[in-house]
């Protein structure tokens, strides 16, 4: 008896629409993607004051060592004991450079009023950071 040999059918997976599917998925991801990059002004806060008062030190700094920049509730800035006034960014840059001429290791203390806007504090800290100043102290009154 003759046994018939089965013909092997060629099995193929249709892949022609694969790129269409891929492009549809790409469009979906392109439309929904939000690049959440973290960028900002980095500051290292000082350690909390020790409760043990014997460990706490009191330092008295002169104007040659530290510049006080007090931000008032209405956004004006009091530099050391001068009269409050508004500062444009360029004026702030000039002031910082002037203080750095006196002392390149100058400490800048930014005292922000509790009622002042956060944006006003950031504006001052931004100019200090732009001048490559690392010794920045943040406080409030």
Give contact residues for other proteins (rule: CB under 8 A). Answer: 15, 18-19, 22-23, 25-26, 29-30, 32-48, 71, 112-123, 125-127, 129-130, 138-140
Please give the structure tokens belonging to residue 30: 């392109």
Residues pairing with 109 in the sheet: 68, 137
Of residues 45 and 56, the one with the C-beta less far from other proteins: 45
Residue 117 Cβ, how far from other proteins at the closest point, in Å?
Answer: 6
Of residues 4 and 46, the one with the C-beta less far from other proteins: 46
Of residues 63 and 113, the one with the C-beta less far from other proteins: 113
Residue 1 Cβ, how far from other proteins at the closest point, in Å?
Answer: 48
Tell which residue, 65, 63, 67, has the closest CA to residue 77: 67
103 contacts 133 by C-beta, under 8 angstroms: no
Residue 55 Cβ, how far from other proteins at the closest point, in Å?
Answer: 15
Of residues 25 and 102, the one with the C-beta less far from other proteins: 25
Residue 12 Cβ, how far from other proteins at the closest point, in Å?
Answer: 16
67 contacts 79 by C-beta, under 8 angstroms: yes
Q: Residue 135 and residue 129: Cα distance in Å, rounded?
A: 10
Tell which residue, 111, 41, 125, has the closest CA to residue 73: 111
């Amino acid at each position: 008896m003759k046994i018939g040999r089965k013909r092997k059918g060629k099995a193929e997976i249709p892949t022609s629409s694969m790129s269409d599917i891929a492009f549809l998925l790409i469009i979906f991801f392109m439309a929904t993607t939000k690049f959440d990059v973290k960028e900002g002004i980095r500051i290292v806060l000082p350690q909390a004051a020790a409760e043990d008062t014997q460990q706490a030190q009191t330092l008295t700094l002169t104007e040659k060592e530290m510049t006080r920049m007090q931000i008032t509730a209405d956004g004006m800035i009091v530099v050391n004991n001068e009269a409050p006034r508004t500062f444009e960014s360029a004026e702030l840059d000039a002031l910082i450079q002037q203080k750095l001429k006196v002392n390149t290791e100058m400490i800048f203390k930014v005292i922000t009023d509790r009622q002042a806007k956060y944006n006003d504090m950031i504006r001052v800290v931004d100019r200090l950071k732009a001048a490559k100043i690392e010794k920045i102290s943040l406080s409030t009154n």
